[in-house]
Chains A and B, each alone.
Chain A
């Protein structure tokens, strides 16, 4: 979808109007997101549903002394509607703030300056993408969806701070299937859609699918040597966002990596984890408009240097803030590379499981950093460095201290960037960069 509205101007005018309605003791923080998105959902290489969405969310945090209340509204391209909506609801928000008890951990807003980042792109039109499908249909059974269009983030406060981030991008998240229901996962994402790149990606995926055609191997539960491809490591590293790196969670007794932070346990010296905003996947400003360092080293050579700490956690618990979001999860996580070359993966794995993708991870014992999940797309049994065939899916149950610690034998010298493909409510931004890993004694239970 090409943009039809000037969302930056809509954001600026809505901010100005909101600030004009404040009382002398009020301070207002605003977070804005907007998008104009086309979704094309596919099954059996045909279109199951097509939809377009034009939406904008305007979230206001009103602070008055130690009192705070938040309100989000849907804005649109019509300024009159926006003005009327903001006027009505900001009055209600003022009354609410006045009625609430103090929140002792509110931190005062500051002016953290301004920034403006605009990332343009070239997107496929609906017709262009639909034409590409024609070529696909005869070749392969595909399911997935294309998400395409501009998205916007704004942050401002009544003290003068203002940040703007816009990105025109697409992702095509898909999976291909054999007649025996074995599948591989693929994705093509970026800001410039290129027919040649699309064809290359699809051809690579179709070639990978051919490996899934052999007879299925049933593996008994037990401990195995595994290679986790970057997309599988991405699923594991995604769990770090479930309180494992949160300073507040640590203080509340909910941090799976508490023992690592306290130095009671170590990860492998080959394990290095950082927040890396230089990847360009996410704006550096958080929901308060605070700008994070470009890189934050969280785990270095297996030792934890710091947790992600928001200003609220700093005030409540005395940990030093590193401009984390309120959720204190990574926004642009990067796991360090090692020395294992792509060519040597199968040889170094020897006999074991080549795992391209994991599914439905959850903590099975949070206090011990143990997590469970399933193998999913593109998982193969390998013997003496040779692929034997696809496996019947397996459940694993293993600790991060084994995966990133004792069991971590080798890390690849390359990594893949995984853009967030979440579209709950609106399009997520952010992502992570992950290498592949060979791990010993990885536990499968079912």
Chain B
């Protein structure tokens, strides 16, 4: 997939009465006694669906409907937050009081002191680009698609378990503030996966399509696309059940986008987060090997490596017009021609650190404050075809689809495992290998990058499951990536 269309139109000017749920909050705010030197109210509502079929049979159907507000109040430069699902006058008034009291209670020991410039007054709208809305799909239609998929997969001769699932989210975020912010964003997101597990003698292997999430609509559940996926999964499962273990040696490594996106996420995305560099995450998600002095000088990779924060790529999971602090979202280079130039930090972290950042302050829902999060972290396409990468490889392995990941709290020493590997010898793809893994250290690994794939191998991937923060928050992230090749990587097989 390759998308490169601007997805939003941020309108300047007064927003008319939309008749949305937020109108209720607006009306209430006219009656509520607001407090604080500055305040903002973020309303978050979402309908989520999770549906699953196993072995050709209906297996799970759950819907969640959530709606609430996060009230932010600033007193003397200190912010307090209070979240509630009680959207009555009394409920919102109480949230204002709590947020204000909390801001005052920590005034003496607050790490930060801001002014209202950290919540710029912006107005506008954003909507996911969809061909058909998700509400066009009935629960029965979705379940029918999943049952058919898992039914076809279960027919594989070695298959002991086949499953297919889809997660649909329709989200609306409204934000208004005392200094004039007034924006609304609507997201339509569908994440799906299908997988088979097979057994031959004592050997068990699994193959999946890889969890794939995008901003798209009902068109995501395409029977034609799924049919070719099913065929590939069954063929490759049989190959894995006859394949030898991946060899253990140092060799060249080609990673397809369904693995490389997680490599980027863990070893570029997280270490560049400014709140990690500032130490906020030290007790949970971890710190970073990147120090403030590295910006503008650290050679993260060779000159062919260009990494961007791109909230403008249509259909990618974390495209939007504004982050949850109300800052307009723009595309920026994080790594330019191999050199680290910018961090993943929202306006608060930028002011604290003095390091250039991006519009990436995001909250998982109405019940958490915004913190620095990845959005869409992408590798810009390069010049190489996959054929060129293979033909230039004397001995190596091509790995597809992540199945295991782990990295240290400084985001340095990592280990990844994949579902499917192909040996490369003397410039040609050879046999399949099972349990392919590799490990390395971040900067050394990225400096061993020798080829960046062109637009032909560029794919948009996304995950709804990036975890971080105290209290904990998950967030949706996107990674658009071409296939890339790395030299001299430690590769190994199963136990």
Contacts and interface: CB of A to CB of B under 8 A. Distances in A.
A and B interact:
yes
A39 B470 contact: yes
B302 interface: no
Contacts of A368: 494-495
Contacts of A254: 161, 197, 206
Contacts of B57: 101, 103-105
Interface residues of B, number: 89
A253 interface: yes
Find the residue from B82, B206, B365, B408 having the highest chain A CB count within 10 A: B408
Interface string B25-43: 0000000000000000000
Contacts of B227: none
Find the residue from A4, A48, A102 having the highest chain B CB count within 10 A: A48
B369 interface: yes
A374 B409 CA distance: 8
Interface string A16-42: 000000000000000000000111111
B404 A363 contact: yes
Interface string B194-205: 000111000010
Interface in B365-395: 365, 367-369, 371
B106 A68 contact: no
B287 interface: yes
Interface residues of A, number: 88
A70 B85 contact: no
A50 B105 contact: yes
Nearest to A424: B472
Contacts of A3: none
Interface string A61-105: 000000011111111111001000100010001001001111111
A372 interface: yes
Interface in B62-83: 62-68, 79-83
B282 A143 contact: yes
Contact of A70 (B63, B140, B198, B435): B63
A103 B85 CA distance: 33
Contacts of B83: 51-55
A55 B282 contact: no
Interface stretch (B15-23, B107-115, B173-181, B477-485): B107-115
Interface string A178-211: 0001010100000000000000000000000000
A150 interface: no
B105 A74 contact: no
Contact of A100 (B139, B440, B495): B139
A44 B91 contact: no
B471 A48 contact: no
A51 B81 contact: yes
Given A78-B91, A252-B160, A395-B415, A143 B279 contact: yes
11 contacts: A47-B106, A47-B111, A50-B81, A51-B471, A52-B81, A53-B471, A69-B62, A73-B65, A96-B139, A367-B204, A367-B494
Interface of A: 4, 37-44, 46-56, 68-78, 81, 85, 89, 93, 96, 99-105, 126-127, 130, 133-134, 137, 143-145, 147, 173-175, 177, 181, 183, 185, 252-254, 359-368, 370, 372-374, 376, 393, 395, 397, 399, 422-425, 445-446
The 9 closest A-B pairs by CB, nearest first: A368-B495, A76-B86, A51-B81, A70-B62, A423-B471, A46-B111, A145-B470, A74-B85, A374-B408
